[in-house]
């Protein structure tokens, strides 16, 4: 079985049982609802205790349970730019504000990147009379680039001035 097939099976079972991602995450437990959802969508490795709880919830086989526990091939966009309107808007945010965020992050932290591995994300609904708003909070560890061959007291890493 391919991981994509397992994701489709989980989505079918979610639909059949009338479950929400919040209810699924609460049942599986141990991690944030965003992490649990990402794992069940095939983007994260689900630790075995949570994989076993997912198996019980969705009626998965032993092989499918083990597949949830394997390191996935991450990145699921079949086309760039993405064609799904919601995903495209997130892509558009990066297109429009990516260079700005890069400049501001690197001005404050130095020459480096924000990790998507040592990373956390939260999503929150903010009521608004003109239409509810989606609040995404992304936090990733700053990883400075290493400057190889540094000599004479020059810095090894691209940290900026705090």
Examine the residue annotation and report whether 70 is marked as an active-site residue of this protein. Answer: no
Of 4, 92, 103, 107, which one is the catalytic site residue?
Answer: 92
Residue 138 near residue 105, CB atoms below 8 Å: no
Q: How far apart are CA 68 and CA 12, in angstroms?
A: 16
For residue 73, say if its preceding peptide bond is cis, omega within 30 degrees of 0. Answer: no
Examine the residue annotation and report whether 32 is marked as an active-site residue of this protein. Answer: no
Of 74, 89, 103, 133, which one is the catalytic site residue?
Answer: 89
Examine the residue annotation and report whether 89 is marked as an active-site residue of this protein. Answer: yes
Q: How far apart are CA 13 and CA 57, in angstroms?
A: 9
Nearest CA among 108, 109, 137, 141 for reference residue 123: 137
Token pair recorded at residue 84: 């799904």
Of 26, 32, 74, 115, which one is the catalytic site residue?
Answer: 115
Give catalytic residues, as residue numbers. 89, 92, 115
């Amino acid at each position: 079985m391919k991981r994509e097939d397992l994701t489709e099976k989980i989505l079918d079972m979610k639909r059949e049982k009338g479950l929400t991602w919040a209810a699924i995450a609460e049942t599986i437990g141990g991690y944030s609802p965003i992490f649990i959802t990402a794992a069940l969508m095939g983007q994260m490795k689900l630790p075995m205790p949570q994989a076993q709880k997912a198996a019980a919830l969705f009626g998965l086989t032993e092989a499918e349970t083990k597949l949830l526990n394997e390191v996935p091939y991450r990145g699921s966009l079949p086309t760039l730019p993405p064609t799904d309107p919601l995903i495209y808007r997130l892509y558009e945010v990066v297109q429009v504000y990516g260079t700005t965020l890069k400049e501001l992050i690197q001005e404050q932290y130095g020459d480096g990147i924000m990790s998507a591995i040592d990373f956390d994300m939260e999503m929150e609904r903010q009521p608004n009379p003109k239409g509810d708003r989606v609040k995404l909070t992304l936090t990733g560890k700053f990883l400075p680039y290493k400057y190889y061959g540094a000599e004479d007291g020059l810095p090894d890493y691209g940290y900026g001035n705090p």
